[in-house]
Chain A
Amino acid sequence: MDSHFLARRIHSLTGIVPVGLFLVYHLYLQLYLHSGAEVYNKVINGFYDSPLAIWALVIVVYIPLFFHAFFGIRLIFESSVQPSYTYFSHLLFWLQRISGIGVLLFIIAHVWNAQLGPWIAGTWGTHFEHLSSGFSDPDSGMITKAVYLLGTLGAVFHFSNGLNTFCMTWGIALTPKSQIRVRIFSIFLFFILAASALYALSAIW
Chain B
Amino acid sequence: MTDTVTFKIKRQDSKSSSSYWETFTIPYVPNSNVISCLMDIQANPINAKGEEVTPVVWESNCLEEVCGTCTMVINGKVRQSCSALVDQLEKPIKLEPMSKFPLVRDLVVDRTRMFSALKKVQAWVNADGYHDLGPGGRLSQEHQETAYKLSECMTCGCCVEACPQYSSGNNFLGAAAISQSRLFNMHPTAKNMAGERLDTLMQEGGIADCGNAQNCVEACPKSIPLTESIAEMGRQVSDKLWHNIFKA
A residues near B, CB below 8 A?
Answer: 1-2, 4-5, 8-9, 75, 78-82, 84-85, 87, 89-90, 93, 165, 168-176, 179
Contacts and interface: CB of A to CB of B under 8 A. Distances in A.
A174 B228 contact: yes
B60 interface: no
Contacts of A171: 231-238
Given A171-B234, A174-B231, A82 B202 contact: no
A149 to B, nearest CB: 27
A79 B236 contact: no
Contacts of A165: 212
B244 interface: yes
Interface string B98-119: 0000000000000000000000
B65 to A, nearest CB: 20
A162 to B, nearest CB: 10
A1 B228 contact: no
Contacts of B234: 168-171
B238 to A, nearest CB: 5
Contacts of A87: 214-215, 218
Contact of B164 (A2, A4, A80, A173): A80
Contact of B218 (A85, A170, A173): A85
B164 A169 contact: no
Contacts of A170: 234-235, 238
The 10 A-B residue pairs whose C-beta atoms are closest, nearest first, are: A171-B235, A8-B208, A89-B214, A93-B213, A84-B76, A171-B234, A165-B212, A4-B204, A1-B202, A79-B164
Nearest to B73: A84
A157 to B, nearest CB: 15
Given A1-B244, A90-B215, A174 B235 contact: yes
B54 interface: no
A78 B230 CA distance: 19
Interface of B: 76-77, 162-165, 167, 169-170, 199, 202-204, 206, 208-215, 218-219, 225, 227-228, 230-238, 240-241, 244
A179 B227 contact: yes
A88 to B, nearest CB: 9
Contacts of A81: 164
Given A168-B231, A169-B212, A171-B235, 7 more contacts: A1-B202, A2-B202, A75-B211, A169-B234, A170-B234, A170-B235, A171-B232
Nearest to A169: B234
Contacts of A168: 212, 227, 230-231, 234
A67 to B, nearest CB: 15
Contacts of A1: 199, 202-203, 240-241, 244
Contact of B228 (A8, A79, A85, A175): A175
Contacts of A172: 235
Nearest to B212: A165
A79 B238 CA distance: 24
Contacts of A85: 77, 162, 215, 218-219
B208 A5 contact: yes
Contacts of A84: 76-77
B213 A89 contact: yes
Nearest to A1: B202
A5 B228 contact: no
A170 B214 CA distance: 15
Contacts of B202: 1-2, 5
B10 to A, nearest CB: 14
Nearest to B199: A1
A81 B167 CA distance: 10
B212 A82 contact: no
Given A82-B162, A84-B77, A85-B215, A5 B238 contact: no
Contacts of B238: 170-171
Most chain A CB within 10 A, of B163, B210, B225, B231, is at B231
A165 B76 CA distance: 27
Contacts of B208: 4-5, 8-9
Contacts of A75: 211
A175 B235 CA distance: 12
